[in-house]
Amino acid sequence: MRKIRSGAIDAATALVVALVFAILFHPARVRAAKRTGPAAATAAKAPVASDPAFGTYWHDGKAELDGYRYTVTRYGRERRGHAVAVYVTEPFSRSMRVKVDDPSRNPKDTFDVLKLNLIRDFQTGIYDYNTMTSLFVRSEDFEPVKVSFVSTEWCGNVYEELLVNPGLVSQKLSSYFEGESVAREERRPKEGILEEELFLLLRGLNRPYLAPGDSRTVPFLPGSFRRRLTHQALQWTRARIERLAAPRTLAVPAGSFHVVVYSVKIENGAQGTFFVESSYPHRIVRWEWNPLVGSGRWGADSNDSGELSGSARLKYWELHDEGGERYLARLGLNAGSR
């Protein structure tokens, strides 16, 4: 075995020490340490999980189905029912504003949307209400392009369609009731949002709507469901939307969730609170609307609440055969439930 001289060892040790010293105290490293401070070490110990890219989650060929225990004020009294929120992506026609069966036939006229179907069913005495609101937003920027709404009950049915364009909302309302059917256009203010958008914007699926503790006041168009039950015309107002600084834990029938809390105050109208799951996919765990003290112009009717009873990702359009009802249990529902 070859013997190493002590002088060579001393020289090598000195060289290593010098290299380590140079790396640790390099000016660029020192400046970075001053900028980040101890927070950088904390972040390294507890990294925050980032949300997946939109397409990797929402283009899996399935829909998100969320079931809710539901309450709504109708005819001045609280009514019980159930609600289901269906979120799914699909190809959409730019010119016709409908789902495209074969996108390859006219790709220039086709774009991807995220659709929300919000079904609210509830009993009022001897008869029931069955309603559905459909919201379509462009997947690339969550810009709304269409809202449709249908309400059926024993007296008659109503259908409303809103085509949303930059600077303009076009309404077509067909009603069983005399004097209600109308076709009109309403200017769309800059940064104005539709009430139906809250169920997507506050989820932050493309980016957080607000930072913790922030708020903003925006032009606000009350939703089709609210306007139907209060018999109000299409008219913009304003709303203040705030994200509370601190998250909290919320228990609902579906379980216990860590949630972000948003408040929505409609000018001279109701106040809403949305509890949004902190982790992806940021489901709406609970929402609730309460009337302004003294009722305000809208009254108490249409104010509703829902708390998550179950959730699943399924190809629900394939579950229409006998026995498919069993999947409702995953949403905390059962066939014919109220």
Diameter of the chain measured on Cα atoms:
108
The angle formed by the CA atoms of residues 321, 134 and 109, to the nearest 5 degrees, is 100
The pTM for the full model equals 0.84
Buried b (16+ CB within 10 A) or exposed e, 102-134: eeeeeeeebbbbbbbbbbbbbeeeeeebebbbb
Provide the pLDDT for residue 31.
40
pLDDT tens per residue, range 112-158 = 999 999 999 999 999 999 999 999 999 999 999 999 999 999 999 99
Provide the pLDDT for residue 50.
80
The angle formed by the CA atoms of residues 158, 161 and 167, to the nearest 5 degrees, is 145
Provide the pLDDT for residue 36.
38
pLDDT tens per residue, range 85-115 = 999 999 999 999 999 999 999 999 999 999 9
Q: Where in the chain are the domains?
A: 9-45, 54-331
Low-confidence residues of the chain, pLDDT below 50? 1-48, 297
* Residue linked to tokens 């708020």: 215
Provide the pLDDT for residue 5.
45
Q: How far apart are CA 207 and CA 239, in angstroms?
A: 21
Provide the pLDDT for residue 25.
43
Provide the pLDDT for residue 40.
32
